[in-house]
Amino acid sequence: MMERSEVQQNDTLCSRRSRYLIMEFTGEGGFGKVARAVDLITSKDVALKILKKETPSEREIMMLDALRALDPVKKNVVHFFEKFQDQGHTCLVFEKLDMNLFTLLEQRQWEHLTLNEIRPIAHQLLTALDGLKSLGMVHADLKLDNIMLVNHLSEPFRVKLIDFGLSFMSSEDKLGKKVQPAGSRAPEVSLGLPLSEAIDMWGLGCILFYLYLARRPFAKHCQYRAMKGIVEMLGQPADHLLHAGRFTEGFFKKNHKEDGPVWRMKTPREYQRGTGIKPKKWMSPIKRLNELITLHPWIWRFAELEDRTAFVSLLKSLLHTDPEERITPARALTHPFLTMVHLLNQTDSLHVTDALDKMRVVGFDDSDGDLCTDGVAEEESSDEEAAAAPRPVDTDSAVQDGVGNGRHPIFYFFIFSVLYIFLTLQIKTELRVDGASEEESATPSANTTAAAGGLCSVAEDSAVGQHGADPADQTLTSDRSPPATVKKERLRDVKKFLDRVRSAMFRRKYSKHE
């Protein structure tokens, strides 16, 4: 009689310290299977990773053993209990967690997460990456599937990092190795440069982008389109990086013009001629990161507008094309988006109240004085933002600064003045209409909601494509209208913001002539 080699439901696997009853299989991949099991000694649920017989397990076990040096609770990494052999399989025992973030988005029907939901996730992942960096470890496989919610019902948005099967030590020579999930590869991976913990920070930036838009920032199925998307959204990597890259000539070509960078991106035809691969079509959801500030059609308060700006600043620091300039986990934890110092004077805002509530999962409590300005941290964060800003000039930022495209700042002052007059009159009209409507009916006006959304998306680029096999690509924004109770406050906040910008522009304009 042949010996059964496959582990099945209701089987009992034994280690030296316990016995585990297989209740159900919850996942399967090239490595083997993952099962929910019961520890028959403690009667607690555990997650059992059962590797295939031919799957090499030495590296993952070595990484998990090194991970024992970290506190799994404080550092937001999965708790690894033990390893053992049974029925010819290597089995790894972990704490039982809830669902991963990909499943969460599926359950939300690909509705994006809010900034207040993203912030605690970002904080915990940065804490985990900071712990890995202290060990000299690179995760190298950051994706939604490898970020688990601990218990979403009792502890919303508490997460842990899992799956260290592709991890490696930063001291190892990984030059030229294709690591990281497709679509989330740092430029240094694609170019064939030395790798470090900085690739995980890039991966985190891609994850936060995905959570905010429910769409990935760069192409997944075509490495040429992925690199082209990086260049178009973030700017071309510096010449010294391209000179050193082992695979640079696969994407770039020497520029023979006297002015400009030494390298230029290959055209799709040039890439196809050199590789024999025709680049697949791909359209990024945005052209510049600054578009994220106004992409969603409406905001709750002026506080959220400032929060979006801080979020984009963090993304720019995470997605810097130079790994040496990319922000580190420790520095990122002091970024204003995580510390919320920019919300200090708006604690009465609904957005800030909700932010504080959701950040309690990471031990952030304003009653303990967490929401305060720290001179040193704020100064360091400002320096970091300046150093981590992408090298090429961002035309959106240039317009906000009153320079760029060779136009005089007065040109932008004139354009803003016209918009200011028009929008102010529109706001006053909507407030009067809304007030009259409240006397006649308790039903909120959809026009007021649309006006508020329009005011927050005047500069929005509407060329957003929907395509591809990713279900998340079909949903960019929520069609739900904001609650009627905050419509007036929102319109007044927008007007207040316009007044502040107008005053700032007047001060800047006349200070230059003094």
Q: Distance between CA 139 and CA 199 in Å, rounded? A: 9
Class of 101-387 in CATH: mainly alpha
- Average pLDDT for 431-446: 50
pLDDT of residue 377: 43
- Average pLDDT for 492-514: 54
- Average pLDDT for 33-59: 92
pLDDT of residue 53: 80
Which H or E run includes 354?
helix 350-359
Residues annotated as catalytic (active site), given as ranges: 141
**Which CATH homologous superfamily contains domain 12-95?**
Phosphorylase Kinase; domain 1 (3.30.200.20)
- Average pLDDT for 10-25: 95
For 278-337, the pLDDT digits (tens) are: 999 989 899 999 999 988 766 656 788 899 999 999 999 999 999 999 999 999 999 999
For 456-499, the pLDDT digits (tens) are: 333 333 333 334 445 554 444 344 445 555 556 666 666 666 66
Q: Name residue, tokens 């790798």.
A: 195
Confidence of residue 137 (pLDDT cuts 50, 70, 90): very high
3 state DSSP class of 237 = coil
Residue 254 falls in which region: left (phi positive, over 0), alpha (psi -120 to 50) or beta: beta
Residue 441 has pLDDT above 70, yes or no: no
State the DSSP string of 305-336: HHHHHHHHHHHHHHT-SSTTTSPPHHHHTTSH
Please state which of the ranges 31-45, 355-369, 399-413 shows the lowest mean pLDDT: 399-413
Q: Are 20 and 96 in contact (CB under 8 A)?
A: no
3 state DSSP class of 153 = coil
For 212-267, the pLDDT digits (tens) are: 999 999 999 999 999 999 999 999 999 999 999 999 999 999 987 777 789 999 99
- Average pLDDT for 415-428: 64
The percentage of residues in the chain with a pLDDT greater than 70, rounded to a whole number, is 69
pLDDT of residue 2: 40
Q: Distance between CA 69 and CA 353 in Å, rounded? A: 36
SS3 content of the chain, % helix, strand, coil (to 5): 45, 15, 40
Kindly tell me the sign of the dihedral angle through the C-alpha atoms of 462, 183, 312, 511. Answer: negative
Q: Distance between CA 98 and CA 49 in Å, rounded? A: 15
pLDDT of residue 175: 87
Residue 58 has pLDDT above 50, yes or no: yes
* Domain residue ranges of the chain, discontinuous segments joined by +: 12-95, 101-387, 396-461+471-511
pLDDT of residue 345: 84
Pick from 44-58, 136-150, 248-262 the range whose average pLDDT is largest. 136-150
Q: Are 145 and 102 in contact (CB under 8 A)?
A: yes
* Main-chain phi, psi angles of 445, to 5 degrees: -80, 130
For 153-190, the pLDDT digits (tens) are: 999 999 999 999 999 999 998 888 999 999 999 999 99
Residues 6+ apart with CB under 8 A from 402: 409, 412, 413, 505, 508
Residue 391 has pLDDT above 50, yes or no: no
3 state DSSP class of 169 = strand
pLDDT of residue 505: 54
Q: Distance between CA 308 and CA 292 in Å, rounded? A: 7
Work out the mean pLDDT of the chain and round it to a whole number: 80
pTM for the whole structure: 0.74
Residues 6+ apart with CB under 8 A from 251: 190, 191, 224, 227, 265, 266, 271
Return contacts of 449-453, CB within 8 angstroms, 24+ apart. 449/298, 449/481, 449/482, 449/487, 451/426, 451/427, 451/491, 452/298, 452/299, 452/482, 452/487, 452/490, 452/491, 452/494, 453/297, 453/298
Q: Distance between CA 122 and CA 313 in Å, rounded? A: 14
Q: Are 67 and 80 in contact (CB under 8 A)?
A: yes
pLDDT of residue 160: 99
